Structure 1
Amino acid sequence: MDLESRKQLPLFSIGIVEKLTGLSARQIRYYEQHGLVQPARSQGNQRLFSFVDVERLIQVSALLDEGLNMEGVKERITRLAKAETTKEKKSVEPSDHQVYERMRQEMLERPGLGGASEFQGDLFRFYRKR
Structure 2
Amino acid sequence: MSDMNRRSMPLFSIGIVKSLTALTARQIRYYEDNGLIFPARTEGNQRLFSFNDVDRLLEIKELIDKGINLAGIKQMLPTREKPAADTLETPIEPEISDKALRQMLRQELMDTGRLGKASLRQGELSRFFH
Q: TM-score, normalised by structure 2?
A: 0.60
Instruction: Output one character per residue of 1:23-42: Cα deviation in whole Å (capped at 9) or x when no partner.
Output: 00000000000101000000
Alpha-carbon distance between aligned partners in 1 of 2:77 and 2:27, rounded to the nearest angstrom: 17
Matches within 5 A, 1:56-75: 56-75=56-75
1:3 and 2:3 aligned: yes
% identity of equivalent residues? 55
What does residue 13 of structure 1 align with?
A: 13
What does residue 37 of structure 1 align with?
A: 37
Write the letter of the residue equivalent to 2:18: E
The runs of 5 or more residues in structure 1 that have no matched partner are: 82-130
Alpha-carbon distance between aligned partners in 1 of 2:14 and 2:51, rounded to the nearest angstrom: 12
* Count of residue pairs the alignment pairs up: 80
Structure 1 residue 78: Cα displacement? 2.1
Which structure has more helix as a fraction of its residues? 1
Write out the 4+ residue segments of structure 1 that deviate beyond 6 Å after TM superposition. Answer: none
Alpha-carbon distance between aligned partners in 1 of 2:11 and 2:24, rounded to the nearest angstrom: 18
